[in-house]
């Protein structure tokens, strides 16, 4: 949970502006920061006494370098670091969700289905960590973040750097004794099986609310980890076998993360038909939604000083329930898409709401009710739109900027791309040249070379007429909320519907940029498919639809808006 910055806290670490405190640990303090591009990160700042230890700095730099190579969906990657700074720091992707420790402590153990999803995600995350040559060494409920789309593993590789300093070793053990492997408790060499043992402890905590080796004095917990059998008495029956295997005293007898992933996947419920399935209990999901809402773009460019984040005198004396009600954001989501080359400025009820950069989409929270939305841009006059939405509704609007400088932004219902004039002229010259060659050859063969001048003129006229007819024909590529209409559609304005498309991408090939639509299922066939695999492939740059950088960016923005979740942008 985020807390206000305190007096004396830094306003900025590296390129990141700090907004609040997230917590602390054996390494130091963790802050919520934001990059210049608007990305949220968790910035971990090393404690001064550790920063003064040359051996810690050396190992910390090595571990951070290794951690930056870790991939995988179920890890929160290290995105930036400065191990030479004073103090050293690292930045990891921020996940707007509670830790497993906080979720279970506040709301009780997770149901079986949630624990299975948690286990498969963490097993996959450990696979990525181990593939990078790292051992986590500090897998515990506090280092597992619960996100809307699955768990995330954080702080991989940092424990080994902490273990190099004698004055922090005890503190590290105190924080993780109930989740250590026997070999780690005996200060022996640890490898990937140690993380599997810790994962078994974490899953037991998630399902029962306690460690399998109980609580109490440090030496008692460590003794039970090394010598006693785990207490799995209240563990759900389907989890007993896989977790028992993880908690084997001998590392050789433990399953690999891949084997555990297979065992847990067999326990998972079939995929639901509803695309927006929730894997966590409702109270935990609400926490995630609330935190994600607080991170939506806002017009908060003021200085991030500790004093500015302190509660006011009035708020300190206001009852806690009233404060929570006052700070609770609205539950109407306003989604604005900008398909133009200039940023849009938004205002609601005469109050600045935020900006939407060129060719981007932004979501803003609003309170339910009726509002007046003002959309404007530099050198364009504003347009006002009335918004009325009930609690929980989502209002989606896309805007484009007309060419005329003084005009207002226009609401977008569909976007049509036609070949550029450069491409049309190129097509005309090519058509004329081909016609001239064909008619000249025919003249030589059939007429013995007679009337070459008249033949050339006729070929030029025929080429120009053919090309003009092709240019004025309905060669348009249109995207709308229903689907996409190709120039080769057999029926006018009949789209390939988005609900039949599983994925849309633009792929760069030697011949140029190709728009590819894949069917929703392997046994499905897209209407209008022109490839043996049932896909639609359409050359978009050679035909002039994205002949410039401006057109290309607008085309991708239209795909992001209309294709929504089906669009996958190639990096």
Tokens of 380: 């364009």
Please check whether residue 204 is in contact with residue 243, taking contact to mean a CB–CB distance below 8 angstroms. Answer: yes
Structure confidence at residue 531 (pLDDT): 77
- Looking at the structure, give the CATH architecture of the domain made up of residues 330-412: Sandwich (2.60)
Classified as helix, coil or strand, 345 is: strand
Q: What are the structural domain ranges in the chain?
A: 49-76+92-267, 330-412, 421-466, 477-566
Structure confidence at residue 144 (pLDDT): 95
Flag residues of the chain having pLDDT under 70.
1-2, 25-26, 156-176, 269-277, 293-330, 379, 405-406, 420-474, 488-493, 521-525, 542-544, 547, 570-571
Residues designated as active site: 138
Query: 440-484, pLDDT tens digit by residue?
Result: 666 666 555 555 566 566 666 666 666 565 555 447 788 888 888
CA dihedral 532, 536, 540, 545 (to 10 degrees): 150
The answer to whether 313 is annotated as binding is no
Structure confidence at residue 320 (pLDDT): 39
| Contacting residues for 203 by C-beta, under 8 A, at least 6 apart | 115, 118, 119, 122, 239, 243, 246
pTM of full prediction above 0.85: no
* 366: Cα separation from own chain's centroid: 23
422: preceding bond cis by omega (within 30 degrees): no
| CATH, domain range 49-76+92-267 | 1.10.510.10
Structure confidence at residue 173 (pLDDT): 40
The runs of H, that is alpha helices, within 343-448 are 421-446
The runs of H, that is alpha helices, within 272-333 are 282-294, 313-317, 320-327
């Amino acid at each position: 949970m985020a807390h206000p910055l305190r007096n004396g806290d830094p306003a900025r670490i590296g390129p990141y502006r700090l907004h609040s405190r997230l917590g602390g640990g054996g390494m130091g303090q963790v802050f919520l920061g934001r990059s210049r591009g608007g990305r949220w990160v968790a910035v971990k700042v090393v404690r001064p006494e550790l920063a003064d230890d040359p051996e810690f700095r050396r190992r910390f730099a090595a571990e951070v370098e290794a951690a930056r190579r870790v991939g995988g969906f179920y890890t929160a990657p290290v995105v930036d670091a400065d191990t030479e700074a004073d103090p050293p720091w690292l930045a990891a992707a921020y996940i707007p969700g509670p830790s497993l420790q906080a979720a279970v402590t506040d709301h009780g153990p997770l149901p079986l289905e949630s624990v299975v999803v948690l286990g498969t995600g963490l097993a996959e995350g450990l696979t990525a960590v181990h593939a990078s040559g790292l051992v986590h060494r500090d897998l515990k409920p506090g280092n597992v973040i619960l996100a809307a789309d699955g768990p995330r593993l954080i702080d991989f590789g940092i424990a080994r750097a902490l273990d190099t300093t004698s004055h922090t070793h005890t503190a590290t053990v105190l924080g993780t004794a109930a989740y250590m492997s026997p070999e780690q408790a005996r200060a022996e060499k640890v490898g990937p099986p140690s993380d599997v043992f810790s994962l078994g402890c974490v899953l037991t905590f998630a399902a029962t609310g306690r460690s399998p080796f109980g609580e109490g004095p440090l030496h008692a917990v460590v003794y039970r980890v090394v010598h006693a059998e785990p207490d799995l008495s209240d563990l759900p029956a389907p989890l007993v076998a896989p977790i028992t295997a993880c908690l084997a005293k001998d590392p050789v007898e433990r399953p690999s993360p891949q084997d555990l992933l297979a065992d847990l996947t067999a326990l998972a419920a079939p995929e639901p038909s509803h695309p927006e399935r929730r894997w966590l209990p409702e109270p935990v999901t609400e926490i995630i939604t609330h935190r994600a809402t607080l991170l939506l773009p806002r017009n908060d460019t003021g200085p991030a000083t500790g004093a500015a984040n302190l509660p006011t005198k009035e708020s300190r004396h206001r009852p806690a329930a009233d404060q929570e009600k006052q700070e609770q954001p609205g539950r109407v989501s306003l989604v604005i898409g900008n398909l133009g080359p200039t940023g849009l400025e938004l205002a609601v009820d005469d109050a600045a709401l935020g900006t939407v950069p060129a060719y981007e989409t932004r979501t803003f929270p609003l309170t339910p009710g009726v509002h007046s939305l003002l959309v404007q841009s530099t050198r364009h006059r504003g347009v006002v739109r009335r918004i009325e939405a009930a609690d929980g509704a989502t209002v989606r609007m896309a805007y484009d900027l007309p060419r005329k400088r003084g005009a207002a932004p226009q609401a977008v219902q569909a976007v049509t791309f036609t070949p550029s004039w450069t491409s049309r002229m190129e097509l005309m010259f090519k058509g004329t040249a081909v016609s001239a060659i064909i008619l000249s050859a025919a003249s030589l063969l059939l007429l013995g070379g007679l009337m070459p001048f008249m033949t050339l003129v006729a070929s030029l006229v025929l080429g120009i007429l053919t090309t003009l007819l092709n240019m004025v024909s309905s060669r348009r590529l249109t995207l709308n909320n229903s689907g996409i209409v190709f120039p080769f559609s057999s029926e006018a304005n009949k789209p390939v519907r988005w609900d039949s498309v599983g994925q849309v991408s633009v792929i760069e090939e030697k011949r140029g940029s190709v728009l590819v639509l894949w069917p929703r299922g392997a046994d499905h066939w897209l209407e209008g498919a022109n490839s043996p695999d049932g896909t639609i492939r359409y050359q978009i740059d050679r035909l002039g639809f994205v002949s410039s950088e401006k057109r290309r960016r607008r085309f991708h923005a239209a795909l992001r808006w209309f294709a929504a979740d089906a669009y996958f942008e190639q990096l």
